[in-house]
């Protein structure tokens, strides 16, 4: 019998890759979508209409919708990926973030209990390396103490603990994947990696002059999202419900990411100055519209956070040992290259589309 999975956050980066992964495994996949004034479901558009992929309206802030949906779908596995996932935005919308990212997890757990599925339904919770926040040790593992450092992280900490509580109190198979940053061609465009790869592509093609960033010294353990969704599934196939750190075990600064991304876009950078005065300057360029000496990266305090997490490095030993997962399937260098390649093409196509529209008189 094919298994049935319910994915919250199906329209997001991870939800889209996980849907593809589970469909490939023969699952019946159900996803939760929210009503919005524009139907913006680019990441899953290619799956819509396929026979084993189903979408339902519900919301993490609406318990009734979750209870009804879990009752209707009767999932074997729930992947709770839905969240207000942007750390900086959580400082502007802390209450919404808490409602969705903290209480939302409780709503999912209670929807399972209300439908008497607690003995059969396994639940994956999208926990995060942000829990380590103002880090108390490097690298971070399953035993490192938490020190959340943003409203987002505090909300996610509740999610982590309520999952653990329901596991112990009601013997439910529910677990957290403590995932470090993972990126891809489908990454949201305001997260730092995607913001950089898109800007590098636009600057290389003469469609943007300068990229403004915040803290360039911040260290992250960046992996490839497509590799990480496999772990979500492996965690739920494990014999016992346990929490796992998922990371590559390699870290780089935001500055290093930018240097490499611009290099793949044909622009060699050097860095000058410090703090808000730091600038990324072109040393050499294969692009006719960018010349040596041009300043293409500047720092703007608008992108500084009231408290910033600056030293994330995961220890994936447990996942490697117990799940047989390979943390270095896609290297940092490959990740940056594939993202830039994709965005060079995307920016090129946008130009073609605009030219077509102009020709047809659709855009004046």
Instruction: Give the interface with ligand GDD as residue ranges (CB under 6 A).
Output: 85, 87-88, 128-130, 180-181, 190-192, 195, 213-215, 218, 220, 254, 303, 305, 308-309, 312
- Per partner kind, with CB cut-offs from 5 to 8 A, the member of ligand GDD, ligand NAP, none near residue 14 is ligand NAP
For the chain, the C-alpha Rg in angstroms (whole number) is 21
| Alpha-carbon distances, residue 9 vs 16, 120, 121, 131, 236 (angstroms) | 9, 22, 18, 20, 17
Residue 269 in contact with ligand NAP, rule: CB under 6 A: no
Minimum gap (Å) between residue 357 Cβ and ligand NAP: 26
- Residue 208 CB contacts under 8 Å (≥ 6 apart), including other chains: 199, 202
Q: Measured in whole angstroms, how far is the alpha carbon of residue 28 from the centre of its chain? A: 23
- 83 lies in the binding site for ligand NAP (CB under 6 A): yes
Which residues, numbered 281-320, are part of the site for ligand NAP (CB under 6 A)? none
In the set 11, 97, 128, 193, the catalytic residue is: 128
* Dist. CA 187–CA 228, nearest whole Å: 13
Nearer to ligand GDD, 69 or 157 (CB): 157
Of the candidate spans 10-18, 107-115, 330-338, 351-359, the one that interacts with ligand NAP by CB under 6 A turns out to be 10-18
Question: Residue 358 CB, nearest distance to ligand GDD (Å)?
Answer: 31
Does residue 152 carry a catalytic annotation? yes
Residue closest to 3 by CA, chosen among 22, 31, 16: 22
Determine if 126 is a binding residue for ligand NAP (CB under 6 A). Answer: yes
Calculate the alpha carbon distances from 73 to 133, 150, 196, 235, 318 in Å.
36, 35, 40, 21, 33
Cβ distance to ligand GDD smaller for residue 9 or 75: 9
Under rule CB under 6 A, residue 11 binds ligand NAP:
yes
Full DSSP string of 203-215: HHTTS-S-EEES-
Out of 14, 76, 315, 343, the residue judged to bind ligand NAP by CB under 6 A: 14
Give me the phi and psi of 272, to 5 degrees please.
-140, 145
Query: d(Cα 23, Cα 12) in Å, to the nearest integer?
Result: 16
Site for ligand NAP in 33-72 (CB under 6 A): 34, 59-61
Catalytic residue among 20, 28, 77, 130: 130
- CA–CA dist 249, 349 (Å, integer): 35
144 is catalytic: no
Q: Which residues bind ligand NAP (CB under 6 A)?
A: 8-15, 32, 34, 59-61, 81-85, 100, 126, 128, 179, 181-182, 188
Catalytic residues: 128, 130, 152
């Amino acid at each position: 019998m094919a298994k049935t999975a319910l994915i919250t956050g199906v329209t997001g980066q991870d939800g889209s890759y996980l849907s593809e992964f589970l469909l490939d495994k023969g699952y019946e996949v159900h996803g939760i979508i929210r009503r919005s004034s524009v139907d913006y479901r680019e990441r899953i558009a290619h799956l819509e209409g396929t026979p084993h992929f189903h979408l339902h309206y519900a919301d993490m802030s609406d318990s009734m919708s979750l209870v009804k949906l879990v009752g209707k779908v009767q999932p074997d596995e729930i992947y709770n990926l839905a969240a207000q996932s942007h750390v900086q935005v959580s400082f502007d919308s802390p209450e919404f973030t808490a409602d969705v990212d903290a209480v939302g997890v409780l709503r999912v757990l209670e929807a399972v209990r209300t439908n008497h599925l607690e003995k059969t339904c396994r639940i994956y919770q999208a926990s995060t390396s942000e829990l380590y926040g103002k880090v108390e040790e490097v690298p971070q593992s399953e035993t490192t103490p938490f020190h959340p450092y943003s409203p987002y992280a505090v909300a996610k900490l509740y999610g982590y603990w309520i999952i653990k509580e329901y596991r112990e109190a009601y013997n439910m198979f529910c677990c957290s994947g403590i995932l470090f940053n993972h990126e891809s061609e489908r990454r949201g465009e305001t997260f730092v990696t995607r913001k950089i790869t898109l800007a590098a592509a636009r600057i290389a093609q003469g469609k943007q002059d300068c990229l403004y960033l915040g803290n360039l010294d911040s260290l992250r353990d960046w992996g490839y999202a497509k590799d990480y969704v496999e772990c979500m599934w492996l965690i739920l196939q494990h014999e016992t419900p346990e929490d796992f750190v998922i990371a590559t075990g390699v870290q780089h600064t935001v500055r290093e990411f930018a240097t490499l991304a611009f290099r793949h876009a044909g622009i060699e950078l050097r860095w000058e100055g410090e703090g808000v005065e730091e600038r990324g300057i072109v040393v050499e360029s294969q692009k006719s519209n960018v010349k040596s000496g041009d300043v293409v990266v500047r720092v703007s305090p608008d992108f500084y956070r009231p408290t910033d997490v600056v030293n994330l490095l995961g220890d994936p030993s447990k996942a490697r040992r117990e799940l047989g997962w390979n943390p270095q399937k896609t290297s940092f260098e490959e990740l940056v290259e594939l993202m830039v390649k994709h965005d060079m093409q995307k920016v090129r196509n946008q130009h073609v589309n605009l030219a077509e529209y102009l020709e047809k008189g659709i855009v004046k």
